[in-house]
Amino acid sequence: MLTDWIHWLTSLSLETHFWLLSLLLLADVVRYALSYTLMAVYDAARAFTRRIRPNRRTLNRPYIPSVCVIMSGHNEESGVVATLASVWGSYPNLKIIVVDDGSTDQTAARTAQFTADRNADVRLLRKPARGGKASSYNFAMRYADADIVITIDCDSTLAPGAIYRIVQPFRDPRVGVVSGNVEVRRPMTNTLTWMQAHEYLLGISVGRRLSSLLGTMVVASGAFAAFRREAVNRVGGWDVGPGEDSDITLRLRKAGHRIMFAPRATCLTDVPTTWGRFFRQRCRWNRSQVRELSRKHLDLAYPTTHFFRWTNLLMMVDVWVFQVLRLYAILLYLGWVIIHPTPHTWSTLVYVYLMYILVSAYGGLLILGYCDNRRKHLRVCAACVLIPFYHFVRRLICAFSMTGEVLFRRSYHDAFYPRRVRAATWRW
Protein backbone atom coordinates (compact mmCIF):
# COMPACT_ATOMS: atom_id res chain seq x y z
CA MET A 1 0.00 0.00 0.00
CA LEU A 2 2.83 2.38 0.82
CA THR A 3 4.52 1.59 -2.48
CA ASP A 4 1.29 2.32 -4.36
CA TRP A 5 0.88 5.62 -2.53
CA ILE A 6 4.47 6.70 -3.30
CA HIS A 7 3.98 5.74 -6.95
CA TRP A 8 0.77 7.79 -7.04
CA LEU A 9 2.50 10.75 -5.38
CA THR A 10 5.46 10.76 -7.79
CA SER A 11 3.12 10.58 -10.78
CA LEU A 12 1.34 13.83 -9.87
CA SER A 13 1.93 16.90 -11.98
CA LEU A 14 2.97 20.23 -10.49
CA GLU A 15 -0.50 21.56 -11.20
CA THR A 16 -2.08 18.71 -9.22
CA HIS A 17 0.33 19.27 -6.33
CA PHE A 18 -0.62 22.93 -6.30
CA TRP A 19 -4.34 22.07 -6.32
CA LEU A 20 -3.97 19.58 -3.45
CA LEU A 21 -1.90 21.97 -1.37
CA SER A 22 -4.50 24.68 -1.91
CA LEU A 23 -6.86 22.56 0.21
CA LEU A 24 -4.69 23.42 3.20
CA LEU A 25 -5.82 27.03 2.85
CA LEU A 26 -9.09 25.88 4.43
CA ALA A 27 -7.17 24.77 7.52
CA ASP A 28 -6.27 26.92 10.52
CA VAL A 29 -2.73 25.60 10.54
CA VAL A 30 -1.73 27.47 7.36
CA ARG A 31 -3.19 30.71 8.62
CA TYR A 32 -1.35 30.34 11.90
CA ALA A 33 1.94 29.39 10.23
CA LEU A 34 1.81 32.43 7.95
CA SER A 35 0.85 34.67 10.87
CA TYR A 36 3.71 33.37 12.99
CA THR A 37 6.16 33.88 10.15
CA LEU A 38 5.09 37.49 9.68
CA MET A 39 5.25 38.09 13.41
CA ALA A 40 8.70 36.50 13.71
CA VAL A 41 9.98 38.72 10.89
CA TYR A 42 8.42 41.78 12.54
CA ASP A 43 9.91 40.97 15.94
CA ALA A 44 13.33 40.32 14.43
CA ALA A 45 13.21 43.65 12.57
CA ARG A 46 12.09 45.47 15.71
CA ALA A 47 14.88 43.88 17.78
CA PHE A 48 17.44 44.86 15.13
CA THR A 49 16.12 48.43 15.05
CA ARG A 50 16.30 48.72 18.83
CA ARG A 51 19.86 47.44 18.76
CA ILE A 52 21.13 50.00 16.28
CA ARG A 53 18.90 52.82 17.58
CA PRO A 54 18.37 52.30 21.33
CA ASN A 55 15.19 53.72 22.78
CA ARG A 56 16.26 56.17 25.47
CA ARG A 57 12.77 56.79 26.84
CA THR A 58 12.31 55.95 30.50
CA LEU A 59 9.90 53.06 29.91
CA ASN A 60 11.96 50.75 32.09
CA ARG A 61 10.93 52.50 35.25
CA PRO A 62 8.66 50.27 37.34
CA TYR A 63 4.98 50.88 36.75
CA ILE A 64 3.16 49.68 39.84
CA PRO A 65 -0.49 50.79 39.98
CA SER A 66 -2.76 49.60 42.76
CA VAL A 67 -4.34 46.23 41.93
CA CYS A 68 -7.40 44.37 43.17
CA VAL A 69 -7.70 40.69 42.24
CA ILE A 70 -11.25 39.31 42.06
CA MET A 71 -11.76 35.56 42.24
CA SER A 72 -15.23 34.16 41.74
CA GLY A 73 -15.98 30.51 42.35
CA HIS A 74 -18.86 28.09 42.79
CA ASN A 75 -17.89 24.90 44.63
CA GLU A 76 -14.17 25.46 44.10
CA GLU A 77 -12.85 24.07 47.39
CA SER A 78 -10.29 21.90 45.59
CA GLY A 79 -8.55 24.77 43.80
CA VAL A 80 -9.21 28.03 45.63
CA VAL A 81 -6.28 27.68 48.06
CA ALA A 82 -3.76 27.01 45.28
CA THR A 83 -5.04 30.04 43.37
CA LEU A 84 -4.84 32.24 46.45
CA ALA A 85 -1.30 31.02 47.18
CA SER A 86 -0.17 31.96 43.66
CA VAL A 87 -1.67 35.46 43.98
CA TRP A 88 -0.99 36.46 47.58
CA GLY A 89 2.32 38.27 48.07
CA SER A 90 3.12 38.28 44.35
CA TYR A 91 2.68 42.04 43.89
CA PRO A 92 2.94 45.15 46.10
CA ASN A 93 -0.14 47.25 46.83
CA LEU A 94 -2.43 44.27 46.20
CA LYS A 95 -5.92 43.52 47.46
CA ILE A 96 -7.73 40.22 46.97
CA ILE A 97 -11.49 39.68 46.91
CA VAL A 98 -12.92 36.16 46.82
CA VAL A 99 -16.60 35.85 45.92
CA ASP A 100 -18.21 32.62 47.08
CA ASP A 101 -20.94 32.35 44.45
CA GLY A 102 -23.52 30.30 46.33
CA SER A 103 -21.21 27.36 47.00
CA THR A 104 -22.47 24.31 48.84
CA ASP A 105 -19.00 22.97 49.64
CA GLN A 106 -16.09 24.28 51.73
CA THR A 107 -14.97 27.08 49.37
CA ALA A 108 -15.62 29.82 51.94
CA ALA A 109 -14.10 27.80 54.78
CA ARG A 110 -10.94 27.08 52.81
CA THR A 111 -10.62 30.77 51.94
CA ALA A 112 -11.10 31.84 55.56
CA GLN A 113 -8.55 29.26 56.72
CA PHE A 114 -5.98 30.51 54.20
CA THR A 115 -6.53 34.07 55.40
CA ALA A 116 -6.11 33.08 59.04
CA ASP A 117 -3.03 30.89 58.50
CA ARG A 118 -1.07 33.49 56.56
CA ASN A 119 -2.56 36.65 58.02
CA ALA A 120 -3.40 37.52 54.43
CA ASP A 121 -5.39 40.58 53.40
CA VAL A 122 -8.20 38.68 51.66
CA ARG A 123 -11.78 39.86 51.65
CA LEU A 124 -14.39 37.10 51.44
CA LEU A 125 -17.80 37.98 50.01
CA ARG A 126 -20.51 35.34 50.20
CA LYS A 127 -23.58 35.22 47.98
CA PRO A 128 -26.40 33.04 49.29
CA ALA A 129 -27.56 32.09 45.79
CA ARG A 130 -25.49 31.37 42.71
CA GLY A 131 -25.64 34.12 40.09
CA GLY A 132 -22.72 33.43 37.78
CA LYS A 133 -19.37 35.11 37.23
CA ALA A 134 -20.71 38.37 35.82
CA SER A 135 -22.90 39.07 38.84
CA SER A 136 -20.04 38.10 41.17
CA TYR A 137 -17.67 40.51 39.46
CA ASN A 138 -20.22 43.33 39.65
CA PHE A 139 -20.78 42.56 43.34
CA ALA A 140 -17.04 42.66 44.04
CA MET A 141 -16.56 45.91 42.11
CA ARG A 142 -18.42 47.73 44.88
CA TYR A 143 -15.47 47.01 47.15
CA ALA A 144 -12.66 47.36 44.61
CA ASP A 145 -10.99 50.76 44.78
CA ALA A 146 -7.74 49.95 42.96
CA ASP A 147 -6.60 51.37 39.63
CA ILE A 148 -6.53 47.95 37.97
CA VAL A 149 -8.95 45.08 38.54
CA ILE A 150 -7.80 41.56 37.67
CA THR A 151 -10.15 38.60 37.29
CA ILE A 152 -8.83 35.08 37.86
CA ASP A 153 -10.64 31.74 37.79
CA CYS A 154 -10.46 29.70 40.97
CA ASP A 155 -9.11 26.70 39.05
CA SER A 156 -6.10 28.67 37.77
CA THR A 157 -2.71 29.58 39.21
CA LEU A 158 -0.40 32.43 38.25
CA ALA A 159 3.25 32.12 37.31
CA PRO A 160 5.70 34.34 39.24
CA GLY A 161 5.58 37.95 38.12
CA ALA A 162 2.33 37.50 36.18
CA ILE A 163 0.50 40.40 37.84
CA TYR A 164 3.40 42.81 37.37
CA ARG A 165 3.64 41.90 33.69
CA ILE A 166 -0.07 42.11 32.95
CA VAL A 167 -0.38 45.67 34.32
CA GLN A 168 2.53 47.12 32.31
CA PRO A 169 0.46 47.87 29.14
CA PHE A 170 -1.72 50.18 31.26
CA ARG A 171 1.07 52.75 31.05
CA ASP A 172 -0.83 53.72 27.91
CA PRO A 173 -3.99 55.53 29.10
CA ARG A 174 -5.86 54.27 26.03
CA VAL A 175 -5.62 50.64 27.18
CA GLY A 176 -8.80 49.38 28.81
CA VAL A 177 -8.20 45.64 29.14
CA VAL A 178 -5.20 43.33 28.94
CA SER A 179 -5.48 39.59 28.43
CA GLY A 180 -3.04 37.27 30.13
CA ASN A 181 -1.39 34.28 28.52
CA VAL A 182 -3.26 31.08 29.43
CA GLU A 183 -1.53 27.71 29.29
CA VAL A 184 -2.67 24.22 30.24
CA ARG A 185 -1.52 23.29 33.73
CA ARG A 186 -1.15 19.52 33.19
CA PRO A 187 -0.85 19.06 29.43
CA MET A 188 0.22 15.41 29.51
CA THR A 189 -2.71 14.11 31.60
CA ASN A 190 -4.18 12.34 28.57
CA THR A 191 -4.39 12.69 24.81
CA LEU A 192 -7.21 15.24 24.99
CA THR A 193 -5.36 17.59 27.34
CA TRP A 194 -2.23 17.19 25.22
CA MET A 195 -4.07 18.36 22.10
CA GLN A 196 -5.73 21.22 23.98
CA ALA A 197 -2.31 22.34 25.22
CA HIS A 198 -1.15 22.47 21.61
CA GLU A 199 -4.22 24.52 20.67
CA TYR A 200 -3.66 26.96 23.55
CA LEU A 201 -0.01 27.35 22.61
CA LEU A 202 -0.78 28.20 18.99
CA GLY A 203 -4.02 30.11 19.45
CA ILE A 204 -3.30 32.06 22.65
CA SER A 205 0.39 32.17 23.51
CA VAL A 206 1.41 33.24 20.02
CA GLY A 207 -1.81 33.82 18.09
CA ARG A 208 -2.92 36.64 20.34
CA ARG A 209 0.42 38.38 20.00
CA LEU A 210 -0.47 39.06 16.39
CA SER A 211 -4.11 39.99 17.02
CA SER A 212 -2.98 42.38 19.75
CA LEU A 213 -0.48 43.91 17.37
CA LEU A 214 -3.14 44.34 14.68
CA GLY A 215 -5.74 45.60 17.17
CA THR A 216 -8.20 42.78 16.39
CA MET A 217 -8.42 40.88 19.69
CA VAL A 218 -11.95 39.60 20.28
CA VAL A 219 -11.77 38.44 23.87
CA ALA A 220 -9.65 38.82 27.00
CA SER A 221 -9.41 35.39 28.60
CA GLY A 222 -11.82 34.98 31.47
CA ALA A 223 -9.25 32.86 33.30
CA PHE A 224 -6.83 35.80 33.62
CA ALA A 225 -7.53 39.36 32.50
CA ALA A 226 -6.84 42.87 33.80
CA PHE A 227 -9.17 45.85 33.46
CA ARG A 228 -8.88 49.56 34.07
CA ARG A 229 -11.44 50.02 36.85
CA GLU A 230 -12.67 53.40 35.62
CA ALA A 231 -13.23 51.98 32.13
CA VAL A 232 -15.29 49.08 33.46
CA ASN A 233 -17.41 51.40 35.59
CA ARG A 234 -17.91 53.70 32.64
CA VAL A 235 -19.46 50.92 30.51
CA GLY A 236 -21.65 49.71 33.37
CA GLY A 237 -19.72 46.62 34.48
CA TRP A 238 -20.34 43.10 33.26
CA ASP A 239 -23.61 42.16 31.58
CA VAL A 240 -25.09 39.19 33.41
CA GLY A 241 -25.42 36.30 31.00
CA PRO A 242 -23.37 33.92 28.86
CA GLY A 243 -20.07 35.00 27.34
CA GLU A 244 -19.26 37.66 29.93
CA ASP A 245 -15.54 37.79 29.02
CA SER A 246 -16.05 38.48 25.31
CA ASP A 247 -18.96 40.84 26.02
CA ILE A 248 -17.01 43.13 28.36
CA THR A 249 -14.06 43.11 25.94
CA LEU A 250 -16.22 44.18 22.99
CA ARG A 251 -18.02 46.85 25.02
CA LEU A 252 -14.69 48.34 26.08
CA ARG A 253 -13.64 48.24 22.43
CA LYS A 254 -16.79 50.18 21.55
CA ALA A 255 -15.92 52.74 24.21
CA GLY A 256 -12.66 53.42 22.38
CA HIS A 257 -10.25 51.50 24.59
CA ARG A 258 -7.37 49.44 23.30
CA ILE A 259 -7.32 45.68 23.92
CA MET A 260 -3.84 44.31 24.60
CA PHE A 261 -2.16 40.98 25.25
CA ALA A 262 0.62 40.35 27.79
CA PRO A 263 2.41 37.22 26.50
CA ARG A 264 4.70 36.79 29.51
CA ALA A 265 1.94 37.18 32.10
CA THR A 266 1.25 33.46 32.36
CA CYS A 267 -1.69 31.72 33.97
CA LEU A 268 -1.92 27.94 34.25
CA THR A 269 -5.44 26.55 34.07
CA ASP A 270 -7.22 23.23 34.05
CA VAL A 271 -8.92 22.01 30.88
CA PRO A 272 -11.54 19.31 30.33
CA THR A 273 -10.15 15.81 30.66
CA THR A 274 -13.12 14.03 29.06
CA TRP A 275 -14.73 14.47 25.67
CA GLY A 276 -18.13 15.12 27.25
CA ARG A 277 -16.85 18.09 29.25
CA PHE A 278 -14.86 19.29 26.27
CA PHE A 279 -17.99 19.17 24.10
CA ARG A 280 -20.04 21.21 26.59
CA GLN A 281 -17.27 23.78 27.09
CA ARG A 282 -16.74 24.36 23.37
CA CYS A 283 -20.47 24.56 22.69
CA ARG A 284 -20.72 27.28 25.33
CA TRP A 285 -17.77 29.20 23.89
CA ASN A 286 -18.99 28.99 20.29
CA ARG A 287 -22.56 29.96 21.15
CA SER A 288 -21.34 32.99 23.07
CA GLN A 289 -19.21 34.09 20.15
CA VAL A 290 -22.14 33.86 17.75
CA ARG A 291 -24.35 35.75 20.18
CA GLU A 292 -21.85 38.56 20.68
CA LEU A 293 -20.64 39.01 17.09
CA SER A 294 -23.78 38.26 15.10
CA ARG A 295 -26.37 40.03 17.24
CA LYS A 296 -25.30 42.01 20.27
CA HIS A 297 -22.18 43.68 18.87
CA LEU A 298 -22.71 43.33 15.14
CA ASP A 299 -22.78 47.13 14.91
CA LEU A 300 -19.00 47.15 15.43
CA ALA A 301 -18.78 46.75 11.65
CA TYR A 302 -21.28 49.52 10.82
CA PRO A 303 -19.47 52.50 9.24
CA THR A 304 -22.29 54.82 10.33
CA THR A 305 -21.73 54.34 14.07
CA HIS A 306 -19.60 56.75 16.08
CA PHE A 307 -17.39 53.94 17.40
CA PHE A 308 -16.57 52.50 13.97
CA ARG A 309 -12.89 51.78 13.42
CA TRP A 310 -11.12 49.88 10.68
CA THR A 311 -9.65 47.52 13.26
CA ASN A 312 -13.19 46.64 14.38
CA LEU A 313 -14.18 45.88 10.80
CA LEU A 314 -11.03 43.80 10.31
CA MET A 315 -11.85 41.87 13.48
CA MET A 316 -15.39 41.11 12.27
CA VAL A 317 -14.17 40.06 8.81
CA ASP A 318 -11.57 37.79 10.41
CA VAL A 319 -14.20 36.07 12.55
CA TRP A 320 -16.83 35.65 9.87
CA VAL A 321 -14.54 34.66 7.00
CA PHE A 322 -11.97 32.49 8.78
CA GLN A 323 -14.05 31.07 11.62
CA VAL A 324 -17.53 30.80 10.12
CA LEU A 325 -17.57 30.73 6.33
CA ARG A 326 -14.42 28.65 6.09
CA LEU A 327 -15.81 26.22 8.67
CA TYR A 328 -18.85 25.41 6.56
CA ALA A 329 -16.70 25.33 3.40
CA ILE A 330 -14.56 22.60 4.96
CA LEU A 331 -17.58 20.52 5.95
CA LEU A 332 -19.20 20.94 2.53
CA TYR A 333 -15.98 19.88 0.84
CA LEU A 334 -15.62 16.78 3.02
CA GLY A 335 -19.25 15.92 2.40
CA TRP A 336 -18.68 16.22 -1.35
CA VAL A 337 -15.62 13.93 -1.11
CA ILE A 338 -17.60 11.30 0.77
CA ILE A 339 -20.53 11.41 -1.66
CA HIS A 340 -18.30 11.45 -4.77
CA PRO A 341 -15.35 9.15 -3.98
CA THR A 342 -12.61 8.56 -6.54
CA PRO A 343 -9.95 5.83 -6.78
CA HIS A 344 -7.46 8.24 -5.25
CA THR A 345 -9.62 9.72 -2.47
CA TRP A 346 -7.71 8.08 0.36
CA SER A 347 -4.36 8.86 -1.25
CA THR A 348 -5.39 12.50 -1.46
CA LEU A 349 -6.50 12.61 2.19
CA VAL A 350 -3.22 11.03 3.35
CA TYR A 351 -1.27 13.56 1.29
CA VAL A 352 -3.16 16.51 2.78
CA TYR A 353 -2.81 15.02 6.27
CA LEU A 354 0.98 14.76 5.97
CA MET A 355 1.25 18.29 4.59
CA TYR A 356 -0.93 19.47 7.48
CA ILE A 357 1.49 17.90 9.95
CA LEU A 358 4.52 19.46 8.25
CA VAL A 359 3.01 22.94 8.30
CA SER A 360 1.93 22.46 11.92
CA ALA A 361 5.45 21.34 12.87
CA TYR A 362 6.86 24.43 11.15
CA GLY A 363 4.54 26.64 13.20
CA GLY A 364 5.62 24.80 16.32
CA LEU A 365 9.28 25.50 15.63
CA LEU A 366 8.52 29.21 15.28
CA ILE A 367 6.62 29.11 18.56
CA LEU A 368 9.62 27.73 20.42
CA GLY A 369 11.36 31.04 19.83
CA TYR A 370 8.78 32.70 22.10
CA CYS A 371 8.79 30.09 24.87
CA ASP A 372 10.64 30.24 28.17
CA ASN A 373 10.35 26.50 28.93
CA ARG A 374 11.26 25.07 25.55
CA ARG A 375 11.51 21.47 26.70
CA LYS A 376 7.94 21.55 28.00
CA HIS A 377 6.58 23.25 24.90
CA LEU A 378 8.49 20.92 22.59
CA ARG A 379 6.57 18.03 24.14
CA VAL A 380 3.35 19.95 23.58
CA CYS A 381 4.26 20.70 19.95
CA ALA A 382 4.77 16.97 19.35
CA ALA A 383 0.97 16.70 19.41
CA CYS A 384 0.97 18.00 15.83
CA VAL A 385 0.64 14.41 14.60
CA LEU A 386 -2.84 14.28 16.15
CA ILE A 387 -3.90 17.86 15.53
CA PRO A 388 -5.66 17.21 12.17
CA PHE A 389 -8.06 14.81 13.90
CA TYR A 390 -8.50 17.15 16.85
CA HIS A 391 -9.28 20.11 14.60
CA PHE A 392 -11.78 18.03 12.64
CA VAL A 393 -13.67 17.09 15.82
CA ARG A 394 -13.49 20.69 17.03
CA ARG A 395 -14.97 21.93 13.76
CA LEU A 396 -17.84 19.47 14.00
CA ILE A 397 -18.61 20.72 17.52
CA CYS A 398 -18.28 24.31 16.33
CA ALA A 399 -20.67 23.80 13.40
CA PHE A 400 -23.20 22.04 15.63
CA SER A 401 -23.16 24.71 18.35
CA MET A 402 -23.07 27.70 16.00
CA THR A 403 -25.93 26.40 13.89
CA GLY A 404 -27.97 25.74 17.02
CA GLU A 405 -27.29 29.24 18.29
CA VAL A 406 -28.29 30.88 15.01
CA LEU A 407 -31.51 28.88 14.74
CA PHE A 408 -32.56 28.38 18.37
CA ARG A 409 -30.45 30.74 20.54
CA ARG A 410 -29.33 27.85 22.72
CA SER A 411 -26.91 30.03 24.71
CA TYR A 412 -29.89 31.12 26.81
CA HIS A 413 -30.58 27.52 27.80
CA ASP A 414 -27.05 26.67 28.95
CA ALA A 415 -26.98 25.36 32.53
CA PHE A 416 -23.64 27.14 33.09
CA TYR A 417 -25.81 29.99 34.41
CA PRO A 418 -28.71 29.44 36.83
CA ARG A 419 -32.20 29.25 35.35
CA ARG A 420 -33.39 32.44 37.08
CA VAL A 421 -30.42 34.36 35.65
CA ARG A 422 -31.08 33.02 32.16
CA ALA A 423 -34.74 33.95 32.44
CA ALA A 424 -33.89 37.53 33.42
CA THR A 425 -31.24 38.03 30.72
CA TRP A 426 -32.10 40.16 27.71
CA ARG A 427 -32.17 37.92 24.63
CA TRP A 428 -30.15 39.65 21.97
Compute the average pLDDT of residues 131-147: 94
Compute the average pLDDT of residues 310-329: 88
Helices (H), 255-386: 275-291, 310-318, 326-339, 345-368, 374-381
Is the distance from CB of 98 to CB of 125 less than 8 angstroms?
A: yes
Write out pLDDT tens, residues 196-249.
Answer: 999 998 888 878 888 898 899 999 998 999 999 999 999 999 998 778 899 999
* pLDDT, mean over the chain: 89
Write out pLDDT tens, residues 382-420.
Answer: 999 999 899 899 999 999 999 999 998 888 888 788 888
pLDDT value at residue 16: 84
pLDDT value at residue 316: 92
Is the distance from CB of 80 to CB of 71 less than 8 angstroms?
A: yes
Write out pLDDT tens, residues 96-109.
Answer: 999 999 999 999 99
Compute the average pLDDT of residues 88-116: 94
Is the distance from CB of 352 to CB of 359 less than 8 angstroms?
A: no
- Dmax (CA) for the chain in angstroms is 74
- Tell me the one-letter amino acid at 77: E
Compute the average pLDDT of residues 7-26: 80
pLDDT at 310 over 80: yes
Compute the average pLDDT of residues 322-332: 86
Buried-state track 52-70, b at ≥16 Cβ within 10 A, e below 16: eeeeeeeeeeeeeebbbbb
Pairing of strands 94-101, 67-73: parallel
* 348: DSSP letter: H
Percent of the chain with pLDDT over 90: 55
pLDDT at 32 over 80: no
pLDDT value at residue 192: 97
pLDDT tier for residue 27 given thresholds of 50, 70 and 90: low
pLDDT value at residue 58: 47
